[in-house]
Structure 1
Amino acid sequence: MTGDSAAVGRHAGAVAIVTGASRGIGLGIAERLVAEGARVVITARKQETLDEAVARLGGPEHAVAVAGNAADEDHQRAAIEAAHAAYGQLDLLVNNTGINPSYGPLAETPLEAARKILDTNVVAALAWTQKALQAGLGSSGPGAIVNVASVAGLGASGVIGMYGVSKAALIHLTTELAFQLGPNVRVNAVAPAVVKTKFAEALYEGREEKVARAYPMKRLGAPEDIAGAVSFLLSADAAWITGQTLVVDGGVTLSAGV
């Protein structure tokens, strides 16, 4: 588990759901939350990788897993029910699941792929939020939601265009939800650049040093970089922050034309 000693206890007593958390950024977020005192429900498609993640997080005392498709409403209900069954409450939600089955120009993007991207990356985040609210998030104490967007939602890429469209929509969904759900529930987003995960391999594999040279920090991101930002936005340290998108990108978007 990760997390610095100064932040231990920041989420003591809180219960979180982190979607898409069997590996990569999602698992990094779950690890940080557990290290800081939270108990988590993690979701992903494959039970085997989820079981490995639960073991890494310290077992059922700290984490439980529910396998399923993030866009499936029955799966969403099952995960929220698991949070209440295992830990008696739900305080925090991290909408981390994202897909990108299509690379290339928008003019050539299959419409079926476009619909699937929007359904998983945007509509599912709204559905998770609705169901968490129905299950009491924010009703008995402050609630917080963080949506994992992307710098692809802030400007054109030419390569992952539909993914960027979905993340731009997720950023605006964050803004609308924050406006509507205050003061009981805060809603923010993070927008990472390229993070070294299996999901992003196509963007750096075989040329990591070259890609990293475009970043003022001269390295790609790590899951822990995103986890720290998410933990902050979920915490009482961010109690007067809502509707914001925190760019976590090693400085790559500072250059004109990037």
Structure 2
Amino acid sequence: MTRTVLITGAGNGIGAAAARLFAASGDDVVVTDIDVDAAAAVAAEIVAAGGAATAHRLDVADSEQWQQLSLELRSANRPPAVIVNNAFFQVTGIAHEQSEGDWNQQLSVTLSSVYRAMRTFHDTLTAARGSMVNVSSVHGVLSWAEQPAYGAAKGGLISLTRQLSLDYAPHVRVNVVLPGSIETRQWDHQGPEAQELARRQATLQRLGKPEEVASVIQFLAGDGASYITGASLVVDGGMTTTLGA
């Protein structure tokens, strides 16, 4: 049976890899991103490969855009059975140096967007006995300098996942993945020294690939994980082992 899978932040990186993987398995993918051109490119790639996908602009911090997307999907008879919350926003700087706007935006995009997703589509997830997979980070359990709001948001995602898994049981399973250092465009502004340090911090001595996180997301959303809910799966190449979390 074909499922509709909604993925946020799916124009690049882990979200895009997840979109391709779900589509390759026969799911109908709703590719959303604040960068609609990036989302459209991913959706077009999926369709060209024989899959089903549409692209939609979605600012996950905007409740009105969630409602508009809901209207579009419901009118097209595409109620989401799976939601992957992957969008994030990151600004570096110690707490007193961050503007209140930057602080609030990081929490709104990374953490509160999951509330908006569940508020918008709790009924479709429930009807489908579906699944939500949230993308946190090792930042949720480890601390790096000048990441107060980002770390708080990613840590909050872990707690929120457990809470949602309880409140929407037994019909909806909710789990969270914690990626480590993954080869995404977030490394574009980092020098080779930073990447080498990240490799050394991982037990496997390399950066991960977006597809390696996407495969775990797909597993958690599938029948093979039917008895897993409220779980946090670390996908970090052993970084938290090396660094002692």
TM above 0.5, yes or no, is yes
Q: Which of 51, 70, 79 is 2:60 aligned to?
A: 70
Q: In 2, Cα distance between the equivalents of 1:50 and 1:34? A: 14
SS at match of 1:42: strand
Give deviations 1:31-81, integer Å, cap 9, x for gaps: 111111111111112222222111111159600111131111121123233
Given that 2:203 and 2:242 are in contact with CA atoms closer than 8 Å, whether structure 1 keeps it comes out as no
Deviation, structure 1 residue 30: 0.6
CA root-mean-square deviation: 1.8
Q: In 1, Cα distance between the equivalents of 2:197 and 2:166? A: 41
Q: In 1, Cα distance between the equivalents of 2:152 and 2:188? A: 20
Question: Which structure has greater helix proportion?
Answer: 2
The within-5 A match list for 1:1-150 is 12-58=1-47, 62-100=52-90, 102-134=91-123, 136-139=124-127, 141-150=128-137
Q: Evaluate the alpha carbon distance shift between residue 32 and residue 61 of structure 1 in structure 2; reply closer, same or farther with a 3 A threshold.
A: closer
Q: Which of 171, 180, 183 is 1:193 aligned to?
A: 180
Deviation, structure 1 residue 200: 4.3
Q: Which runs of 5+ in 2 are unaligned?
A: none
Deviation, structure 1 residue 84: 3.2
Q: Which of 155, 160, 165 is 2:147 aligned to?
A: 160
SS at match of 1:17: strand
Given that 1:15 and 1:90 are in contact with CA atoms closer than 8 Å, whether structure 2 keeps it comes out as yes
Give deviations 1:65-120, integer Å, cap 9, x for gaps: 111311111211232333334453320001110000x2132232222211111111
Q: In 1, Cα distance between the equivalents of 2:162 and 2:170? A: 14
Q: In 2, Cα distance between the equivalents of 1:257 and 1:233? A: 25
Deviation, structure 1 residue 255: 2.1
Given that 1:41 and 1:66 are in contact with CA atoms closer than 8 Å, whether structure 2 keeps it comes out as yes
Q: In 1, Cα distance between the equivalents of 2:68 and 2:38? A: 18
Deviation, structure 1 residue 223: 0.7
Given that 1:66 and 1:78 are in contact with CA atoms closer than 8 Å, whether structure 2 keeps it comes out as no
Given that 1:41 and 1:82 are in contact with CA atoms closer than 8 Å, whether structure 2 keeps it comes out as no
Q: In 1, Cα distance between the equivalents of 2:215 and 2:191? A: 25
Give the partner amino acid of 1:67.
Answer: R
Give deviations 1:100-150, integer Å, cap 9, x for gaps: 0x213223222221111111111111011110114x2222x3110001001
Q: In 1, Cα distance between the equivalents of 2:53 and 2:77? A: 10
SS at match of 2:191: coil
Deviation, structure 1 residue 257: 4.8
Q: Evaluate the alpha carbon distance shift between residue 176 and residue 200 of structure 1 in structure 2; reply closer, same or farther with a 3 A threshold.
A: farther
Q: Which TM-score applies when normalising by structure 2?
A: 0.92
Q: Which TM-score applies when normalising by structure 1?
A: 0.88
Identity within the alignment, %: 29
